[in-house]
Amino acid sequence: MARTFVDRLDHVAGAGIEGTVRLKHRRRLARIGQVSALDPPRDGSLWAAAAAPRSGCALDVLIDGSEALPRIAAALEGARSHVHVAGWHVTPRFGLTRDDGARRLRDVLGELAERVDVRVLLWAGAPLPVFKPTRSQVREARDELVRGTRIRCVLDARERPMHCHHEKLVIVDGEVAFAGGIDLTTLAGDRFDTPEHRVRAGLGWHDAGTCLRGPAVADVAGHFAARWGEVDGTPAPVPSPPPGPAGDVELQVLRTIPERVYDFAPRGDFGILEAYTRALRAARSVVYLENQFLWSPEIVAILRDKLAHPPSDEFRLVVLLPSRPNNGEDDTRGQLSVLADADDGAHRFLATTISSRTGQVTSPLYVHAKVGIVDDRWLTVGSANLNEHSLFNDTEVNVATTDPALARDTRLRLWAEHLETTVEAVGGPPHRVVDELWRPVAAEQLARRRSGAPPTHRLCELPGVSRRARTIRGPLKSLADDG
């Protein structure tokens, strides 16, 4: 009886807090004429109105650091006119490759700066030393990066209070751009990891990024130039899009920019929120999310409705999250309980995590990827987490496409990696793969973990264990950086 009363009280408190947060966001966006990001027209389009789709592009999804970072290194080596980098943080001694020819990031950029324009735009760091990187740590990294070189590095402190600049961009010659979740840093963990995720000395790291060519590169370059111009006061070059198509993919570059941070976007830009809203509302058969956090009440409300009123018998929702995020763990677990309650035993929803594994030995693996796939017809990859920081308060850049082949290929590659099998083995109907592979493996590994038996797989079910009232920490954690 007491437990039932506590659960009911918890449900009421949690729902009230979530409602208050959503109302606050709606009023805020209404004041600046951006409420359509929360409730875009139900016109059937998966494109956010905030950004023009660009045709004639090439888009590669790069999974894990071992694929993404050497691609960045190769592009840098071929730079002819300029290299522009924007990030949450960089480590000057970071290695883009891990072979006999590996070199430190500062040496690569320093050598390039002798012949091309090299600019690095970093978040200035936390103004209060309650989380990392602090402003003094960022200044030390900046000084080490530029010392004895022609690298130009500026620190951007134009943030909403206690939030950050979270995007991760590398632009080379205005012809190729990398956008995604991978920072060129070792802060909090080494980003260079392989799809096998073998146990290693440090924290394992699962992530994803993109490489794009074609007209959309100008959108990424234009965003960098606009930020650089306001912070440094000098213009950065914005080359014209290269003539002719680079590929056959249509995509759009999406952003989060809070209002009243930059003069070039006084009303902000909430295109990532709009894009997720459009895609998730339109979902019919499968939603697959990889993210560092899942405690946006707006996103959870859409997913909850899908589970409570499934659009088809085959509808499935699978999420991959870190087992212990660096903050917001209780908020994410509370929202998982919301989704589990909406599923009500129908087994349409599955929350999972992964570990590094070599044989029967496991170690922590941090899920830092920000990937969304809906019905194999919409795909987004970028820097935005599914929380208040990334959808409302930090600067972020995502890439989204409605290319069905690319969306499906990315899902299959990720599912094969996490299920430790082949792409062919996960190529069947998504609902059957979830029911026959994902769920049995994840459930067995959770049971083994609870019994103390050695693991036989790196995938594991992630139970929702926190009470909903603990989502009150979500608004409070808006005062802290996500990393």
More confident residue, 2 or 449: 449
Per-residue H/E/C for 127-141: CCCCCCCEHHHHHHH
**Does residue 10 fall inside a structural domain?**
no
Q: Do 106 and 38 share a domain, yes or no?
A: no
pLDDT at 239: 75
246 with 264, same domain?
no
For residue 230, pLDDT beyond 50: yes
Domain end call among 204, 236, 251: 251
Q: Where are the beta strands (DSSP E) in 95-245?
A: 117-123, 152-156, 169-172, 176-180, 204-206, 208-213
List pLDDT tens digits, range 271-298.
Answer: 999 999 999 999 999 999 999 999 999 9
238 in any annotated domain: yes
Torsion of Cα atoms, 372 then 375 then 376 then 377, to 10°: -90
Is there a single domain that holds both residue 306 and residue 278?
yes
Is residue 464 in some structural domain? yes
Whether residue 235 is found in the same domain as residue 291: no
Asked if 293 and 311 sit in the same domain, the reply is yes
Please give the Cα distance from 81 to 225 (Å, whole number): 15
Q: Is residue 5 part of a domain?
A: no
Domain limits for position 140: 57-251
The pLDDT score that the predictor gives to residue 83 is 98
Q: Please state the separation of Cα 32 from the chain's center in Å.
A: 26
Final residue in a domain of this structure, among 200, 230, 251: 251
Higher pLDDT: 481 or 46? It is 46
Does residue 380 surpass a pLDDT of 70? Answer: yes
**pLDDT, position 479:** 33
Quick one: which of 223, 240, 251, 234 has its CA closest to 174? 240
* Domain contains 8: no
**DSSP, res 253:** E
302-332: string of b/e by CB count within 10 Å (b at 16+)? Answer: bbbebbeebeeebbbbbbbbbeebbbbbbbb
What confidence score (pLDDT) does residue 482 get?
Answer: 35
Residue 6: is its pLDDT beyond 60? no
Residue 4: inside a domain: no
- Do 309 and 350 share a domain, yes or no? yes
Token pair belonging to 48: 């956010």
Query: Same domain, yes or no, for 123 and 205?
Result: yes
Provide the pLDDT confidence category of residue 20 given band limits of 50, 70 and 90: confident
Classify residue 284 by its DSSP letter: S
Per-residue model confidence (pLDDT) at position 45: 97
Among 230, 251, 272, give the residue marking a domain's end: 251
Q: Residue 327 pLDDT > 70, yes or no?
A: no
Q: Are residues 203 and 306 in the same domain?
A: no
Are residues 30 and 88 part of one domain? Answer: no
306's CB contacts (< 8 A; 6+ apart) are 280, 283, 287, 315, 317
- The CATH number of the domain holding residue 169 is 3.30.870.10
- Asked whether residue 101 is assigned to any structural domain, the reply reads yes
pLDDT for res 448: 95
Tokens of 235: 């213009």
In which band, very low, low, confident or very high, does the pLDDT at 13 lie, cut at 50, 70 and 90? Answer: low
First to last CA, the chain: 42
Model confidence at 405: pLDDT above 90? yes
* Residues 214 and 257 occupy one common structural domain: no
* Residue 260, domain member (yes or no): yes
Question: Using the 8-state DSSP alphabet, how is residue 401 labeled?
Answer: E
Total domain count for the chain?
2
pLDDT score of 467: 42
Q: How much is the pLDDT for 228?
A: 97
361, 457 contact by CB (below 8 A):
no
Strand 396-401 to strand 249-257: parallel, antiparallel, or no bridges (unpaired)?
antiparallel
On average, the pLDDT of the chain sits at: 91
Phi-psi region of 250 (alpha: psi -120 to 50; beta: other; left: phi over 0): beta
Considering the domain architecture, whether residues 309 and 374 belong to the same structural domain is answered as yes
* pLDDT on residue 474: 44
Query: Are 343 and 202 contained in the same domain?
Result: no
Query: Residue 362 pLDDT > 60, yes or no?
Result: yes
The structure tokens listed for 84 are 């522009």
Residues paired with 350 in a beta bridge: 318
Span 139-183, pLDDT tens digits: 999 999 999 999 999 999 999 988 999 999 999 999 999 999 999
Within 10 Å of residue 122's Cβ, how many Cβ atoms?
25
